[in-house]
Each structure stands twice: as C-alpha cells, then as structure tokens.
Chain A
Amino acid sequence: MHITEGWLPVEHAIAWSLASVPFVAYGIRVVRKKIQNKPEYRLLLGVAAAFTFVLSALKLPSVTGSCSHPTGTGLGALLFGPVAMAPVGAVVLLFQALLLAHGGLTTLGANIFSMAIVGPFAAAAVFRIARRLRASVAVSVFLAASLADWLTYVTTSVQLALAFPDPDFVSSFLKFAGIFAITQIPLAVSEGLLTVMIFNALARFNPVELREMNLLDEIRKAENGEVRA
C-alpha cells in the first residue's frame, strides 16, 4: 500500500524525499555509467519500468480471500540489481501517482524510500544470505521476494508511526504494522510464490534470456536449467 497524497506532514514528506535523493542520484549515476558501456541497457531499463508498472496492476490472490497487487520490488531487484531499481522505482511510483492517483507527489519520497530502496536492497541482501546458507535458488528467490515485500510494509509502518506517534512511536508502529500484517503477510507469501513461478517459467522456457540477467550465475548452477519450487 502506498502512502496516499497529503497524508504525511510536510516536514516528514520533505525529510523522506531528502533521504531518497542520494539513493536515486547514485542509481542514476550507476545506470548512466552502465549505459555508456552497454547502450542497449538504456532501452532495457525503460521497458523494464513499463513492465514493473504493468505488473503492479496484476491482482494477486490472497489466502485471506482479499486481493492486492505485487510490489515487484523483489523481482526487479533480482533481475536488474537493487541500485538500478531506485531510479526505475522512482519513475514507476511517479507514474502511478500521475496516471492512477495511486500514492502521491507529496508522499513520493516516502514511497520511493520504502518501495524502491528498502525493498530492493532487502531482496538482494536476503537472496545473497540465503544462497550463502546453501538454500536452493527457489527458496532463496521466495525468501527474497517475500521478505522484500514485508520489509517494504515495515518501512511504511515506521514512516506512518514517525508521522503519527500516538501515544508513542512503538505503540503507533505496532498499530500500523498490525493492520498491514492482516493483509500483507499472506500477500507477501503469494508474491514470493509468484516470483518463484516466474523464475520457474523463465528457466524452463527461456534460458537464453536469463543469461542477460543478474541471476545468471545462480541459474547456471541449477543442473537441469529449472528452478525447483
């Protein structure tokens, strides 16, 4: 869930925007260097942003019977790397605000921080840790996508609790996290499963394209070219 337009007090909106700027700026710098070495990367990122936008429109079935959309942060981080996801995520969130009225311009910084920075970096870190602990690729992908989703909503809860500490930060955080947990824990599990499904299908039908992705080395290790779910 994005933080809605105007929901955060102005000091918080500015502070989260300032916190997001260095990550997005560094992401742009890295992307620019990558484009210099590999010009086709420019088009790939633009098309990937469109894909992420469209992916967020998918309705994801949930165990509770409700439905929501995937954040796509875990998938994006695994495919394109967490640093590239900061500018791509910023564009996607801006488009969601301007084309769907989902999120907002004043809350863009806070939403970028939770969905385009914390989520992707968490996904990349969890994936690496899981692989070092010798978890299978499927389990690693599942954990990365699910935990990225959870951490995104934990960050959103922190942002809301800092903005509305009633009566104090901890109680407020527990309240917001508790409300999100009702829907987000099952949804994160669903998103993790969906991400494994995507990698399954990619590995089975399109191993050539996987060679272009960040996960190439990991997928190569799978002996039969298929990720076991």
Chain B
Amino acid sequence: MLIDQCAYSNRWRAVTPAAKGIFALAGFVSAFAAGTPAAALCIALLMSATTIFGAGIPLARFVRAACVPFGFFLLGSVSLACSVEYHGGDFSIVWLPNGPAPVARVVARSCAALASLLFFALTTPMIDQIALFRRLKIPETLIEIMVLCYRMLFVFSATLRDVHTAQDARLGYATPKLALRSMGSMAAGLTVQIWRRAQALHLGAMSRNGEGPFRFLAPVFINSRRDVGFAIAAGALVLSLSCL
C-alpha cells in the first residue's frame, strides 16, 4: 500500500502525530475558509510542498497517491459544469450556467483539502494515527475494530492476491461470467477465514487473559512539545493564506 509505505519511511516519522494532525487541521480549515480559488490553490501548493520537500515524500509517489482522487475531481467538475434544465417537456443541458467561478471554487477547495489529507496520511503511520485517536477519546470499541482491521488487512490482501493468481492461472477470469464465479468463491473462502481467524485470535487472547481492551506500547516522541509549537506556527501561516 503506497500511502502506508510512505508513512513509515518519511523524514518526519519521528514527529509526534499531534503536530502533524494540527498542521493538517489548519490545512482543512484554510481550504474551507479560502476566499478565492487562487488562495485555495496556494494552500494546496503549500501543503503539497511541505509533504514533498519537508517530509521527503518522493514526487512520483505523491503524484501516484494523488492521481486517483484527482481523477474524481475532473469527473466531478464535469458534472458540476453542466446543468440540466427542463422547458416544456424537453430536457436541455447547459454548460457553465453561472460561469466557471463556482466550479473553480469547489475544485480549488477540494485540491487544498486533498493536499491536507495527503500530508497527514503520507507522513503518519496508521499505528500513530490510532494512538492519536485514542488520546482524542474515540470510543474504545471503534479503536479495537481499527487495530484489528489494520493488522488483518495485510493478511487478507496477501491471501486475496494469492487466490486471485491461482484462479487467473486456471483462466478463472477469462470471461465476465467466469470472473463473477471466481470472485464469488474467493470472497466466500475469505468470509470463512474471517470466522476461523477470529476464533483463533479469540482463543489466543483468552489463553493470555486478554479480555480487556487492546493495549500497545505507544511510541515515544521526544520533541513533541517543540513539534507541536512548530505545527501551531506553521498552521497559523497556512490559515493566514486563506485570507488572501
């Protein structure tokens, strides 16, 4: 998973997730507070530059992570650019009925918000994010689902890849009908694994008196106060951009 790999290997891995969260939050607030599309695009550029040059995420990886949501932006902007009008029994499509400004505003805002999301996601590993959620008093039940989900999704991804390769080698995806059948049996096999793995995990937890909430050693961030201070200052700078 590209974003997960970057989150563990970036330059700011040792920076406290609270600082990165504060900076990303400032980016989100600025994206919505930006008065003009140009200001929102400035915020998007600043957040992207921070991710690439500050955290050291390679440009190619950043672009790969951003290209799928960016494709949605393009598709979405086409749907916003046209308007359906109804006159005397006839539907007609009108392009840019209110000019390009409303579409530009939404796309620029989304770019800024996406850059903020990518900053947080590409620099903060999921285990740090979960630790942050725990500090933010997210309900323990949700935290437990997150912990298990994160730990198991790589196991399932590997299994899914292996089964898919085996089915593909036997022409299991040669036609749409065969593909549906192959996917059905693969998903059914995985569904059964859910129960088996859950039972095995439960037995393992019970044998260690693991009835309470999951507890893990949280990583120690030695310069957390300094980092949070920097994040607040940088966040204020980003917020000031929204006033442009």
Q: Do A and B come from one complex?
A: yes
Select from chain A the residue with minimum beta-carbon distance to B140. A32
Known contacts A4-B110, A6-B112, A202-B192, A43 near B83 by CB under 8 Å: no
A193 adjacent to chain B (CB < 8 Å)? yes
**Interfacial residues of chain B within 63-94, with CB under 8 A of chain A in the complex:** 65-66, 68-69, 72-73, 76, 79-80, 82-86
Could you tell me the distance between the alpha carbons of A93 and B87 in the complex, rounded to whole angstroms? 40
With A50-B156, A166-B97: A99-B3 Cβ-Cβ less than 8 Å: yes
Q: Pick the contact of B201: A10, A43, A166, A212 (CB < 8 A).
A: A43
Asked if A137 is an interface residue, CB under 8 A from chain B, the answer is no
Cα(A35)–Cα(B86), bound, Å: 54
* CB 8 Å contact bits of A40-73 with B (1 = contact, 0 = none): 1011111111110111011011010000000000
User: Could you mark each residue 19-50 of chain A with 1 if its beta carbon is under 8 Å from any beta carbon of chain B, else 0?
Assistant: 00000000010011001000110111111111
Task: Say yes or no: is A162 at the interface (Cβ < 8 Å to chain B).
Answer: no
Verify B114–A104 contact, CB threshold 8 A.
yes
- Comparing A115-123, A124-132, A169-177, A218-226, the segment that makes contact with chain B is A169-177
Residues from chain B with a CB closer than 8 A to the CB of A5 are 69, 110, 113-114, 117
B185 to chain A, nearest CB (A): 5
Which of B52-60, B145-153, B222-230, B233-241 lines the interface with chain A? Answer: B145-153
Q: A194-B180, A197-B183 are in contact. Are A53 and B83 (CB under 8 A)?
A: no
Would A40 and B202 be within 8 Å (CB), given that A50-B152, A190-B180 are in contact?
A: yes
- Name A29's closest neighbour in chain B (CB-CB): B141
Q: A32-B141, A101-B66, A166-B83 are in contact. Are A47 and B160 (CB under 8 A)?
A: no
Give me the interface of A with B, judged by CB distance under 8 Å.
1, 4-7, 10, 28, 31-32, 35, 39-40, 42-51, 53-55, 57-58, 60-61, 63, 75, 79, 87-88, 90-92, 94-95, 97-102, 104-106, 160, 164, 166-167, 171-172, 174-176, 178-179, 190, 193-194, 196-202, 205-206, 209, 212
